[in-house]
Amino acid sequence: DLDHWPKPARQWRPGLTFLPLRGFFQRAFIMNLQLENKTALITGSTKGIGFAIARALAGEGAKVILNGRTAGSVDEAVQKIDNGARGIVADLSGAAGCAAVLEQAGQIDILINNAGIFEPKPFAEIPDADWDRFYQVNVMAAIRLTRGFFPPMLQRNWGRVIFMSSESGIQVPEEMIHYGMTKAAEIALVNGLARLTRGTAVTVNAVLPGPTASEGVTDFVGALAATAKQSPAEFEKEFFRSMRPTSLLQRFASVDEVAHTVTYLCSPLASATNGAAVRVDGGVIRTT
Ligand code: NAD
């Protein structure tokens, strides 16, 4: 009985006040993620999944801090989000870039370790330099930032740290074992760090997207499709049939599909999900 639902905690947006269907909208959007007074830093967020997360968090009223490697891309992303967003230009592949972010961000409530790189390469041809680069960007940057931002969250007794890992951290793809290794390392970090939150309102979780149509992946798929003389749609169908046969979705997830789950996990409502590897993988991972 909808009339007996509890009233929403927040007054509904004034824009809807005059709609005849106001009561319906109030009930339909009754879940308030309570992110209005939170500040969130999302690394690697000028495009792709990171940008979608920033946009979703800002849409819920959070103050977002974007990060990218060039002033141009950061400015553009900040303008697209508006809503009080700000940006930090820093390359996270080394200690100096991470230190710059720690210095410029100030106090944050939510850290999304999203920046990441991927590239298929046969195992025997991956040089030391690539192993090192993948480790620096995908793992070490997240460690450096978490080392700075996580202890104050514990002291203030509220915070969210999310590592954007991947289903590749569990089902390591044979065509990019170095990438899978870094994504597995992120899951291990979450497992350990969550132990440190015992008795606090801080949570540390990993999110495991499956194949997702971010700009990075779309460009990459477009290039592969052109080489195979296929349209991107034909390539996608074939990719899921032959390379990701366990996918139940049988298509790329959208960046928003991933961002919505991340946004929920950032909310105070997600307080009992901690130390988890939350899948948004379209069912690619076969175990339940
Ligand atoms: P993307 O290539 O579209 O975007 C990656 C972002 O990271 C970009 O904004 C890029 O500028 C930034 N970045 C890369 N190197 C950086 C550096 N040195 N310093 C600062 N920023 C840097 O990627 P995406 O597909 O949106 O992936 C985002 C995250 O999600 C990654 O960690 C990736 O491993 C993970 N993920 C993606 C998929 C997928 O299919 N797209 C699947 C599982 C997990």
Q: Which ligand 1 atom sits nearest the alpha carbon of residue 179? A: 34
Whether 115 lines ligand 1, by a CB cut-off of 6 Å, is yes
What distance in angstroms lies between residue 119's CA and the mean position of ligand 1's atoms?
A: 11
Burial of 63 (0-12, 13-18, 19+ CB in 10 A): buried
CA dihedral sign, ordered 243, 249, 250, 254: negative
**Cα–Cα nearest to 42, from 154, 207, 163:** 163
**Does the Cβ of 91 fall within 6 Å of ligand 1?**
yes
Q: Is 277 close to ligand 1, i.e. is its CB under 6 Å away? A: no
Q: State how far the Cα of 84 lies from the Cα of 260, in Å rounded to an integer.
A: 20
- Residue ranges of alpha helices (H) inside 82-176 are 95-105, 128-135, 141-156
Which residues are catalytic, by number?
Answer: 179
Residue nearest (by alpha carbon) to ligand 1 atom 33: 116
- The alpha carbon of 49 and the centre of ligand 1 are apart by a number of angstroms equal to 7
- CB-based contacts of 70: which residues, under 8 Å, 6+ apart? 89
- 217 C-beta closer than 6 A to ligand 1: yes
Cα-to-centroid distance, 25 and ligand 1 (Å): 35
Alpha-carbon distance of 142 to 230, in angstroms, equals 37
Look at residue 212 and give its three-state secondary structure: strand
At a CB cut-off of 8 Å and minimum separation 6, what does 267 contact? 33, 34, 35, 60
Tell me the whole-structure pTM to 2 decimals: 0.91
Question: What per-residue confidence (pLDDT) applies to 15?
Answer: 54
Show the tokens assigned to 267: 């909310």
State how far Cα 266 lies from the chain centre.
10
Q: Is 87 in the pocket of ligand 1 (CB under 6 A)?
A: no
Residues 203, 190: Cα–Cα separation, whole Å: 9
**pLDDT tens track, the chain, 288 positions:** 444 555 545 545 555 555 666 666 666 667 899 999 999 999 999 999 999 999 999 999 999 999 999 999 999 999 999 889 999 999 999 999 999 999 999 999 999 999 999 999 999 999 999 999 999 999 999 999 999 999 999 999 999 999 999 999 999 999 999 999 999 999 999 999 999 999 999 999 999 999 999 998 898 889 989 999 999 999 999 999 998 999 999 999 999 999 999 999 999 999 999 999 999 999 999 999
> 163: closest CA among 143, 134, 136?
143
| Nearest ligand 1 atom, CA 49 | 26
